[in-house]
Amino acid sequence: METATASASFSDSSHRPGRLRRFSQLRQNLSGHRSRNSISNRVSWLSSSLPGRDSTVTQVGNSTAPCPDSDQPTLARYTSAPTSSSRALALDNQPSSTDSARSNSPNEPSRTSNVMARLRSSSAMQGRPPRTLGRTTTPDGPTTSPEPTAAAAAANDAPAEGISTPPVEMQEGEEEANKPKQKATIRFFPYQDTYQNSRPSLPFVPVARTLPSESCVIRVGRYSERDGIPIPNPAEPSDAPVGFKSKVVSRKHCEFMFVNGQWHVKDVGSSSGTFLNHMRLSQPNMTSRLYSIKDGDIVQLGIDFRGGEEMIFRCVRIRIECNRSWQQQPNEFNKNTESLIKNLGKGDTADYSGCRECSICLGSVLRPYQCLFMAACAHVWHYKCISRLLHSPDYPMFQCPNCRAFTDLSAEVDDTPEYETESKKAAAAKAGPAPEDETEGPSRSATQTPAEAPATNAAGESSEPQEQSEGRAEEGELVTDVENLHLREEQLAEADAESRGSDSPAPNGSNDDLARSATINIPGFQPTQPLNVPPGRSSHLRADTPVRSETSDDNPLTPRNDSGPLAFDGRAGMQ
């Protein structure tokens, strides 16, 4: 029995074979839209019943501040010339300082400095109990989709159950998404050892994972046809296994897990070894202990066999990027930069006195009529200054010199219509006070101004339980939902007006997701638009998914891989 209930549906969507796969994609898409809304509803509703949580929710809702104060100075420190010695030092210890900056952020009060976490043994010892717990709760990642009914039930009494219900993974994951806490996100980039004259390692498409719950484990091993096609970069949280098409990678090679706010790697008995920064973790066929990993670490799987002349015998070298999701969400710094750049040459130059300089030539970037390059982390340089780093031997990989964040420059452009709809929405909302965030580019979803939280509360309380009790179970209805969804995009203006009229007295900052939920959840609104889904639509819909979200990992630079996860040599499509 499968419902389209938001919380239940997308957890399993990626692992469904055959015909159902299509549907689950649709559902995933749908629930991507709806769950977010219903969650924000649910959570704010939840929080209103838990007085102690009010403040945290406001923090989430406040689009200006996922990480209010701490980020801005930290990031700014990398662009502006350091003026004090402590600042300058922080630049040197870049990777760790970003990490600690993150841990200092109000979002993560409990996190301690990652510097200590480098003491691998100690953290590994701490790490053990939760890990085993994680294994018991998720014995088999892909197949442990929570029972929809269970999830729905859990959703209903969410206030009572709280977040510590590990069996209901997605439920937990979603709640976490709305909590100020960041989700555990990790990305694997191919890494080439340029300083040794070793052969190139196995090329692969960058892989991203956001754990649906902290107890999940990402298993890494040899790609196998039998496992089905793993998804390199799912739009939603996933602990799908990662497969590499190399003979030197064992079927069960290593595992990545998130324990005590820290990512760890563990060799699970590979024959040719897992290497962390060139150190082998265990003897052949032996399981290693947990080793903590941090942003920028290199993990190598196996050793070249027969000189690695054939692609299939090459080892895999992975550069780890973790705990950077805060950077890929709207924050004070990148929004500020965005607006500064947008106003280039418009306003009086006094506005941007000395706030942004090119870290390479130390000149201001905020002068009109210059060619600029802005990285995903919102650091900006003159194109002339940065061009050598762009067109390096590592191209298309680009490392930000300021914050060392990695980006795949060849990744497909994220042209999801979120921006479009949002700006339309902004236009529609001209009557009301449209806040600046609204127009600020693809300013990702899940941004709620505190002002509208009450409105959402109301909507949530009225429509949410109803929707769940309905328990719509059939795919047909799903299709209807999807179609409604689509219609919403076409008739955005009217629908917006409608939703505003009916639900929310003042949806100032509401992105169109919110509006969507409002309309979709209204009983009686749905049945008025039953339509067939034209076959061509579904792909279009797929692209519609607004990816910038709490899942944070699927930022627009995450490549969308249409040819499967194992495009090792660019011929994957043909295989």
Partner 1 sequence: MALPKRIIKETERLMAEPVPGINAVPHEDNLRYFDVSIHGPAQSPYEGGIFRLELFLPDDYPMTPPKIRFLTKIYHPNIDRLGRICLDVLKSTDGPRKDNWSPALQIRTILLSIQALLGAPNPDDPLANDVAQRWKDDEPAAIQTAKEWTRTHAMA
Instruction: At 172, list the tokens.
Output: 């937990």
Nearer to partner 1, 34 or 356 (CB): 356
Q: Among candidates 185, 214, 184, 179, which has minimal Cα distance to 106?
A: 179
Whether the link from the prior residue into 396 is cis, omega within 30° of 0, is: yes
Is the CB of residue 211 less than 8 Å from the CB of residue 183? Answer: yes
Query: Residue 296 CB, nearest distance to partner 1 (Å)?
Result: 6
Q: Using CA atoms, how far apart are residues 306 and 345, in angstroms rounded to an integer?
A: 59
Contacts of 92 (CB under 8 A, 6+ apart): none
| Per CB under 8 A, 277 contacts partner 1 | yes
Candidate residues 85, 164, 197, 532; the one interacting with partner 1 per rule CB under 8 A: 85
| Per CB under 8 A, 389 contacts partner 1 | yes
Q: Residue 374: beta bridge partners? A: 380
Nearer to partner 1, 36 or 356 (CB): 356
By CB atoms closer than 10 A (0-12, 13-18, 19+), residue 12 is buried
| Per CB under 8 A, 19 contacts partner 1 | no
Query: Residue 90 CB, nearest distance to partner 1 (Å)?
Result: 9
Is the CB of residue 336 less than 8 Å from the CB of residue 72? Answer: yes
Query: Residue 364 CB, nearest distance to partner 1 (Å)?
Result: 11
Binding span for partner 1 by CB under 8 A among 227-235, 397-405, 408-416, 435-443: 397-405
Q: Using CA atoms, how far apart are residues 425 and 517, in angstroms rounded to an integer?
A: 15
Binding span for partner 1 by CB under 8 A among 37-45, 191-199, 241-249, 449-457: 191-199
| Per CB under 8 A, 88 contacts partner 1 | yes
The amino acid that residue 375 corresponds to is A
**3-class SS at 24?**
helix
Rounded to the nearest angstrom, the gap between the alpha carbon of residue 112 and the centroid of all alpha carbons in its chain is 23
| Per CB under 8 A, 362 contacts partner 1 | yes
Number of chain positions touching partner 1 (CB under 8 A): 28
Query: Residue 121 CB, nearest distance to partner 1 (Å)?
Result: 14
Query: Residue 43 CB, nearest distance to partner 1 (Å)?
Result: 39
Rounded to the nearest angstrom, the gap between the alpha carbon of residue 504 and the centroid of all alpha carbons in its chain is 28
| Per CB under 8 A, 296 contacts partner 1 | yes
Query: Residue 194 CB, nearest distance to partner 1 (Å)?
Result: 6
Candidate residues 195, 348, 413, 570; the one interacting with partner 1 per rule CB under 8 A: 195
Candidate residues 147, 193, 475, 498; the one interacting with partner 1 per rule CB under 8 A: 193
Candidate residues 404, 424, 472, 542; the one interacting with partner 1 per rule CB under 8 A: 404
| Per CB under 8 A, 49 contacts partner 1 | no
Question: How many CB atoms are closer than 10 A to CB 345?
Answer: 11
Candidate residues 68, 73, 82, 396; the one interacting with partner 1 per rule CB under 8 A: 82
Binding span for partner 1 by CB under 8 A among 295-303, 306-314, 439-447, 567-575: 295-303
Query: Residue 369 CB, nearest distance to partner 1 (Å)?
Result: 18
By CB atoms closer than 10 A (0-12, 13-18, 19+), residue 519 is buried
| Per CB under 8 A, 110 contacts partner 1 | no
Binding span for partner 1 by CB under 8 A among 10-18, 214-222, 354-362, 496-504: 354-362
Instruction: At 573, list the tokens.
Output: 């499509």
| Per CB under 8 A, 360 contacts partner 1 | yes
Does an H or E element contain 274, and which?
Answer: strand 274-276
Query: Residue 402 CB, nearest distance to partner 1 (Å)?
Result: 5
Query: Residue 78 CB, nearest distance to partner 1 (Å)?
Result: 6
Query: Residue 48 CB, nearest distance to partner 1 (Å)?
Result: 45
Binding span for partner 1 by CB under 8 A among 22-30, 79-87, 424-432, 476-484: 79-87
| Per CB under 8 A, 493 contacts partner 1 | no
Q: Using CA atoms, how far apart are residues 103 and 99, in angstroms rounded to an integer?
A: 6
Is the CB of residue 191 less than 8 Å from the CB of residue 175? Answer: no
| Per CB under 8 A, 448 contacts partner 1 | no
Binding mask 426-445 for partner 1 (x = CB under 8 A): --------------------
Nearer to partner 1, 401 or 454 (CB): 401
Binding span for partner 1 by CB under 8 A among 159-167, 187-195, 247-255, 460-468: 187-195
Candidate residues 50, 89, 119, 543; the one interacting with partner 1 per rule CB under 8 A: 89
Binding span for partner 1 by CB under 8 A among 43-51, 97-105, 291-299, 408-416: 291-299
Strand locations in 490-567, DSSP E? Answer: none
Contacts of 15 (CB under 8 A, 6+ apart): 142, 143, 145, 228, 240
* DSSP tag of 306: G
Is the CB of residue 434 less than 8 Å from the CB of residue 426? Answer: yes
**3-class SS at 441?**
coil
By CB atoms closer than 10 A (0-12, 13-18, 19+), residue 138 is buried
Residue environment code for 384-410, b if the CB has 16+ CB neighbours within 10 A, otherwise e: ebbeebeeeebeebbbbbbbbbbbbee
| Per CB under 8 A, 532 contacts partner 1 | no
Does an H or E element contain 264, and which?
Answer: strand 262-267
Binding span for partner 1 by CB under 8 A among 15-23, 293-301, 322-330, 563-571: 293-301
| Per CB under 8 A, 402 contacts partner 1 | yes
Is the CB of residue 464 less than 8 Å from the CB of residue 521? Answer: yes
Q: Among candidates 36, 27, 327, which has minimal Cα distance to 177?
A: 36
Query: Residue 396 CB, nearest distance to partner 1 (Å)?
Result: 17
Residues that bind partner 1 (CB under 8 A): 78, 81-83, 85, 88-89, 91-92, 94, 193-195, 277-278, 296-298, 359-363, 388-389, 401-402, 404
